[in-house]
Amino acid sequence: MLKKLLLLSLLTTNVLVFAQKKPIHHFSSIGVCYGFGSEFNNRNYTFTNNFYKIQLNYQWFSTKNFEYDLVLQPEINFGTHQLLNLYFVEPHEANYEAKREAYTKLKDLHQYGLNIGFLMRKNILKNVNIFAMLSVAPMISDTDTERSPKGFTFSDVLTIGIAYKTPQLIVSVQPSIRHVSNGGLHDTNAGFNTRNIEFGVSVPFK
């Protein structure tokens, strides 16, 4: 999935560069975001999370109908996870009985990452715009789970949203779909899939 998202981002970027009409090239806003979510319904595990981000937008260029930003988002994510289906840990795994006992307990985990995103925005009213963003984040997770060991992971996020902008403030609401896995760096790589809702407040630069 990570390779597909990176390829899509690269292809989209190349197309948009050729379609470029008006260079902008400046940092446009800085703000904070708060969000929360949970796993898609399944029988194997539960996962709920809430997260905080700092968001820095860099306006790249615009065309007749759209504006394009590069986005940086340092993030801390607080998750709660529990294995429901103990048979997800199979007998061929080393110490599988101990792992089943450990993983079926409710546990907290923290994830720290830096989202790097590409955002496309369209104004629909004078002060209102809609946007879509694709981001990829290298992350560090502090807890072992049956779906991904602790350590280095990746977070891929697809976001759509709506924002209201004034000269002093930008307020946004944005649902998202998030996939976290280690990109095949470990044998255990089922990862987590969550649906989230996020709220942001930013201050535009003058």
Tens-digit pLDDT profile for residues 75-98 = 999 999 999 999 999 998 889 999
14, pLDDT greater than 90: no
Amino acid identity of residue 108, one-letter, is D
Question: For residue 109, what pLDDT is reported?
Answer: 94
Record the pTM. 0.83
Q: Which two tokens stand for residue 68?
A: 């394009």
DSSP 33-96: EEEEEEEPS-SSEEEEEEEEEEEEEEEEEE-SS-EEEEEEEEEEEEEEEEE--GGGS-TTSTTH
Taking the C-alpha atoms of residue 206 and residue 27, their distance in angstroms, rounded to an integer, is: 10
Percentage of the residues of the chain whose pLDDT score is greater than 90: 70
Percentage of the residues of the chain whose pLDDT score is greater than 70: 86
Q: Which domain range does residue 82 map to?
A: 2-204
* Whether 178 contacts 196, CB under 8 Å: yes
Tens-digit pLDDT profile for residues 89-122 = 999 888 999 999 999 999 999 999 999 999 999 9
Amino acid identity of residue 180, one-letter, is V
Is 103 strand, coil or helix?
helix
Taking the C-alpha atoms of residue 56 and residue 36, their distance in angstroms, rounded to an integer, is: 20
* CATH number of the domain where residue 169 is located: 2.40.160.20
Question: For residue 21, what pLDDT is reported?
Answer: 53
Number of folded domains in the chain? 1
Burial of 102 (C-beta count, 10 Å sphere; 0-12/13-18/19+):
middle
Q: What does the mean pLDDT of the chain come to?
A: 88
Chain-centre distance of CA 178, in angstroms?
5
* Whether 50 contacts 34, CB under 8 Å: yes
Residue indicated by tokens 């190349």 = 14
